[in-house]
């Protein structure tokens, strides 16, 4: 897929062409999708996987390097790129200025809040975290505040390795699968989250994609399932089998749970799709910048060279990293949407920068 066309449609959604890009529309029209295997890399959106090549003169090129980071080069020979991106940035700034101010947050009186405030109703909050113990730890602290101070029921959905850590801090645990040791081993070889060329050739990418598929299913189960997620997937059982296992659970794990809100870090991947299915709020949290900004480039992007304005270069780096991420995992995510959530697939045009366009709120902690 040509980078120029994709960037143009991403920044001008009204010009999206279903005939060219909208795989969701094709699915609705009844076209058969080819069978896919999570162990195999998906068909590339460009001639060379892990690359975005400019063919229409914007001068934008990106390639996944050996360490999994994204090398970006911008060599614009006209003002086309600036003319494409600047109106979108200005539109977003105008929308922010026109938006009404949000209501004041509720602060309990014992923490200095005004007396007589009405607290929010108690909610079922699921926190979905993928990563190491260092990634999980800030969310444990957040969960304790949400539970102890605000009275919400909090379920922390993460890897089974962290079960004891979550429970000893007074929170409900739910397993979304995945092995953080394998994840960390993959990250040592590929610090940029995306597989480098050597990893693709060695076969590790198949393991990584299968792990992501398991985690995606786990994120959905964490939103709707009783128990702690360590048993057999009830979606693969008969009602009788599920009820037999349910009877064996300890009393505290028999409480029904359906999420009213989701808090997640970006590598959980399933968050926005689960929120769409349930029609509930989503709040993103992370320890490094992940939403498009003009102030600095994406943390996984290496700006090799650019003759564009620094603000434009920084902003576009987030879109290009998102495109390459979707290039590697788009088929796995769409299969999850179709098979587990019974939602339409998302096209390569709509998926990158989706969180930003839908204005999903982010909180950054460090």
Domain assignment of residue 226, given as a range: 122-286
Torsion angle, CA of 199/202/207/208, rounded to 10 degrees?
10
Supply 106's token pair. 């509720």
Distance between CA atoms of residues 359 and 86, nearest Å: 18
93 CB-contact burial (10 Å; exposed 0-12 / middle 13-18 / buried 19+): exposed
Q: pLDDT tens for the chain, 366 residues: list them.
A: 444 344 444 444 444 433 333 333 333 333 444 445 555 554 444 445 566 665 555 556 777 766 667 888 877 766 666 666 777 777 777 777 778 888 888 888 888 888 888 888 999 999 999 988 999 999 999 999 999 999 999 999 999 999 999 999 999 999 999 877 666 555 545 544 455 545 544 455 666 778 889 999 999 999 999 889 887 666 665 655 555 666 666 777 778 999 999 999 999 999 999 999 999 999 999 988 899 888 899 988 888 877 777 888 888 888 888 888 888 788 999 999 999 999 999 988 888 889 988 999 999 987
Q: Are 202 and 62 in the same domain?
A: no
The answer to whether 311 touches 86, Cβ cutoff 8 Å, is: no
Q: pTM (2 decimals)?
A: 0.78
The answer to whether 145 touches 154, Cβ cutoff 8 Å, is: no
- Domain of 166, CATH number, reads 3.40.50
Supply 331's token pair. 């088929």
> Per DSSP, what are the bridge partners of residue 172?
155
What does residue 261 show for φ and ψ, rounded to 5 degrees? -160, 150
pLDDT at residue 324, rounded to an integer: 83
Q: Are 88 and 70 in the same domain?
A: yes
Distance between CA atoms of residues 57 and 2, nearest Å: 11
Domain assignment present for residue 113? The answer is no
Domain assignment present for residue 114? The answer is no
Instruction: Tell me how many domains the chain contains.
Output: 2
Q: Are 332 and 244 in the same domain?
A: no
N- to C-terminal Cα distance for the chain? 37
Distance between CA atoms of residues 251 and 235, nearest Å: 22
Domain assignment present for residue 40? The answer is yes
Q: Are 158 and 200 in the same domain?
A: yes
Q: Are 47 and 135 in the same domain?
A: no
Supply 306's token pair. 């650019």
Q: Are 17 and 91 in the same domain?
A: yes
Distance of CA 338 to the CA centre of its chain: 17
Q: Are 131 and 225 in the same domain?
A: yes
16 CB-contact burial (10 Å; exposed 0-12 / middle 13-18 / buried 19+): middle
């Amino acid at each position: 897929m040509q980078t120029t066309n994709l960037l143009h449609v991403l920044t001008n959604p009204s010009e999206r062409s279903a005939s060219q890009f909208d795989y969701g529309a094709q699915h609705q029209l009844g076209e058969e999708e080819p069978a896919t295997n999570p162990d195999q890399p998906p068909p590339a959106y460009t001639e060379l996987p892990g690359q975005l090549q400019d063919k229409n003169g914007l001068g934008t090129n990106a390639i996944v390097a050996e360490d999994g980071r994204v090398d970006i080069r911008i060599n614009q020979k006209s003002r086309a790129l600036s003319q494409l991106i600047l109106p979108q940035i200005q539109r977003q700034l105008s929308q922010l200025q026109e938006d009404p101010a949000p209501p004041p947050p509720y602060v309990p009186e014992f923490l200095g809040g005004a007396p007589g405030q009405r607290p929010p109703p108690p909610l079922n909050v699921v926190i979905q975290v993928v990563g190491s113990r260092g990634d999980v730890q800030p969310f444990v602290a957040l969960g304790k505040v949400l539970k102890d101070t605000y009275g919400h029921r909090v379920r922390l959905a993460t890897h089974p390795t962290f079960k004891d850590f979550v429970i000893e801090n007074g929170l409900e645990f739910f397993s979304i699968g995945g092995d953080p040791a394998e994840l960390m081993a993959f990250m040592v070889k590929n610090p940029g989250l995306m597989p480098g060329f050597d990893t693709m050739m060695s076969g590790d990418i198949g393991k990584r994609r299968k792990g992501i598929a398991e985690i995606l299913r786990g994120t959905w189960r964490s939103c709707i399932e009783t128990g702690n997620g360590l048993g057999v997937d009830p979606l693969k059982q008969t009602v009788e089998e599920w009820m037999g296992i349910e009877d064996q659970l300890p009393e505290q794990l028999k409480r029904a749970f359906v999420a009213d809100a989701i808090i997640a870090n970006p590598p959980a991947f399933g968050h926005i799709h689960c929120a769409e299915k349930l029609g509930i709020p989503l709040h993103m949290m992370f320890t490094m910048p992940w939403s498009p900004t003009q102030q600095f480039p994406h943390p996984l992007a290496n700006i090799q060279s650019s003759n564009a304005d620094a603000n434009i270069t920084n902003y576009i780096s987030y879109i290009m990293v998102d495109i390459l991420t979707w290039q590697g995992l788009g088929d796995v995510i769409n299969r999850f949407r179709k098979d587990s959530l019974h939602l339409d697939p998302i096209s390569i045009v709509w998926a990158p920068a989706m969180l930003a366009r839908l204005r999903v709120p982010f909180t950054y902690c460090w």
